[in-house]
Amino acid sequence: MGDVVFKGRHFDRSVILLCVRWYLAYNLSLRNLEEMMAERGISVDHATIHRWVIRYSPELLERFNRRKRAVSGKWHVDETYIKVRGQWRYLYRAIDSHGDTVEFWFSERRNLTAAKRFLRKALKRHGRPERIVIDGSQTNKEAILSCDTADRLQDRTRRDLKPIRIRQSAYLNNRIEQDHRAIKGRIRPMLGFKSTKSARVILGGIEMVHMMRKQQGKYARNPQPSLAEQFELLAA
């Protein structure tokens, strides 16, 4: 990121990174951050902070994904509700057997098409798992079967692969229900998003911070950096 991305900004990159990190990581409103910056002698409008979050979160996430360590071959898949302009939308999520985040996908609809888009994204980025645990959702089961079949039939070398095993169990899938809480806990004080675009970007940033806290990033010189250190490393 460095000087190229921050070129032309009226504020120092350290101030921008601090505001973006605090907003994504903690239960602070934009106006809270405006006041906190004022206490430091920095006059910045809450709308400007929001623009920073929208501008820089996607690039930070992209850079984090390049450093993200491999996930295990056993996944838990589920979706949770997110409110946008008073309407319920859906965040599809997957974690592995260690609790690490595999993938996420924000969708305006909860249907077979959305589930397949999410799974195709996960398979493309992380490869085929041995097993996927879901709750009783027939839609998610159909999506897994469809994506798995399409993946194995892409070329002849894949046709002898064993199908992904599907385990339907609300009890076993409690692991991902617990993981949802970290995401929902951050967005609850926001009282819903104002637009689909901002929801998608901010949720991506919150998911990134959640992965950072799980130490899912690989950093050569520091195996367990703090959140602040990870933001600095990604922005370098």
Taking the C-alpha atoms of residue 218 and residue 199, their distance in angstroms, rounded to an integer, is 27
What is the chain's pLDDT, residue by residue, as a tens digit (236 residues)?
A: 554 466 656 888 999 999 999 999 999 999 999 999 999 999 999 999 999 999 999 999 999 999 999 999 999 999 999 999 999 999 999 999 999 999 999 999 999 999 999 999 999 999 999 999 999 999 999 999 999 998 887 767 777 788 999 999 988 889 999 999 999 999 998 878 999 999 999 999 999 999 999 999 999 888 889 999 999 999 98
pLDDT at 3: 46
Rounded to the nearest 5 degrees, what angle is found at the Cα of 56, between the Cα atoms of 115 and 80? 25
Taking the C-alpha atoms of residue 203 and residue 62, their distance in angstroms, rounded to an integer, is 14
82-125 confidence digits (pLDDT tens): 999 999 999 999 999 999 999 999 999 999 999 999 999 999 99
Concatenated DSSP letters of the chain: -HHHHHTT-SS-HHHHHHHHHHHHHSS--HHHHHHHHHHTT----HHHHHHHHHHHHHHHHHHHHHHBPPP-SEEEEEEEEEEETTEEEEEEEEEETTS-EEEEEEES--SHHHHHHHHHHHHHHH---SEEEE-S-HHHHHHHHHHHHHHHTSSGGGTTSPPPEEEE-TTTTHHHHHHHHHHHHHHGGGTSBS-HHHHHHHHHHHHHHHHHHTT-B--SS-SS--HHHHHHHHH-
For the question of whether the overall pTM of this predicted structure is more than 0.85, the answer is yes
Tokens for 166, please give them.
């599907």
pLDDT at 6: 66
